[in-house]
Homo-oligomer: A and B are copies of this chain.
Amino acid sequence: MVGNVVVGQSGGPTSVINSSLAGVYKTAKDLGAPRVYGMRHGIQGFLERNLVDLDDKLRSEMDIELLKRTPSAYLGSCRFKLPEYDANPEMYDKIFALLEELEIAAFFYIGGNDSMDTINKLSKHADRIGSPIRFIGVPKTIDNDLDVTDHTPGFGSAAKYIASVSKELIRDGLVYDQKQITIIEIMGRNAGWLTAAAALAKCEDCEGVDLLYLPELPFDIDKFLDKVERLFLTKKALVVAVSEGIKTADGKYVFEHGVHTEYVDSFGHKQLSGTATYLANLCGQRFGCKARAVELATLQRCAGHLTSRVDITEAYQVGGTAVSAAFAGETGKMVILKRVSSDPYICTTDLYDVDKIANVEKKVPLEWITEDGTYVSQELINYIRPLIQAELSPIMITGQPRHIVVDIDRI
């Protein structure tokens, strides 16, 4: 059942989330969708009728190419958890009234856990009221923490960025003939997939990071210092990768042990920064060495200048699969990636019930972390390696990556 389509992006941006949008748009048009609407700032914008007609915006094949290579959500994003139907039936009525008015046949939401929850709730409501509108989730998150799917689009590019800059930081650390330690802080509140990607820096021309700490295991500050002390016996320049979310056994974030004021952002989230700074200062004081903290920060999710072609291609494919599936009658599903083999790397797409995926957080299996909790297994490295392969260069204009923009946001 081909018809009008509406698509939104939600949650934290990635370098390749727009490639999924391109996949949805292009496939919908190729399959004959009369109109493809984009929600500005996800479901929150949709509720305010903040929509664009993508035909007006994407006018050429060049626009599609630019879109694929533009980091950060082109349509804008939101962090909005749809209330349960019983808590706010009016909101559901409003959404479905607008969907009907726009004659929408299929609704696509590109995002992570919260976004899959939205797809789950809306598809259930469609079922409840007998609406024929299809709802399909398109996976996206650098965190790689969605269940069932082999991995999530966005992760491969973030992993490539992390592996590559870790390698550069390791080289930089070797420059001086002196004792020094670099602590790299990597995103991931609860899941250590991104931090694990720093292990890929190790190759023929690079010794790799010396220690890796994931949030899946409690972090022991004393054991860490002992470990560093032992490493300094045989090596001058150390590089340690830590997840921003590591906690000590008492449940306190490591950075909370520092002297920083506790800072809660306007959403009440604790600001997770300062883990690397805290540990670097600690090492500097303890070992009397040069100690540097490098927080990869937001660049991990928006470094469109260094993306994985495998990732950008898969991001496009999951968008396309979502549209074909919806037009073939599927609803209440998320597109998943199914790895057929790692070497050679073969991966296909499939569909899975979104209610079995939404709100489940996939962490790094403990058997993929070494026993002493300071590195990851070869299995984990082999799992990530294919996802960072090959590049899709940005289109460079006057020395900088060119992006496509909807418009500049103003109040």
Contacts and interface: CB of A to CB of B under 8 A. Distances in A.
Contact of A409 (B182, B236, B273): B236
A168 B295 contact: no
Interface string A283-326: 01000111111110111011111101000000000000000000
Q: Which of A207, A390, A401, A410 has the most CB of B within 10 A?
A: A401
Contact of A400 (B167, B174, B261, B284): B167
Contact of A294 (B207, B266, B297, B410): B297
A281 interface: yes
A250 interface: no
A259 interface: yes
Given A71-B171, A78-B177, A273-B277, 20 more contacts: A40-B177, A71-B168, A72-B168, A76-B176, A77-B176, A165-B305, A168-B305, A182-B298, A200-B400, A203-B397, A203-B398, A206-B405, A236-B410, A259-B259, A259-B260, A261-B281, A265-B290, A266-B289, A295-B295, A393-B393
A398 B308 CA distance: 11
A26 interface: no
Contact of A72 (B70, B163, B175, B290): B175
Q: How large is the interface on A (under 10, 10 to 19, 20 to 34, 35 or more residues)?
A: 35 or more
20 contacts: A41-B177, A71-B172, A72-B171, A72-B175, A73-B175, A164-B401, A165-B303, A169-B298, A169-B302, A172-B301, A172-B302, A203-B397, A234-B410, A237-B409, A263-B284, A266-B284, A305-B305, A385-B399, A389-B399, A390-B399
Contact of A405 (B182, B205, B305): B205
Interface string A262-276: 010111000001100
Contacts of A78: 176-177
> Oligomeric state, in number of copies?
2
Interface in A352-411: 385, 388-391, 393, 396-405, 408-411
A227 interface: no
A311 to B, nearest CB: 10
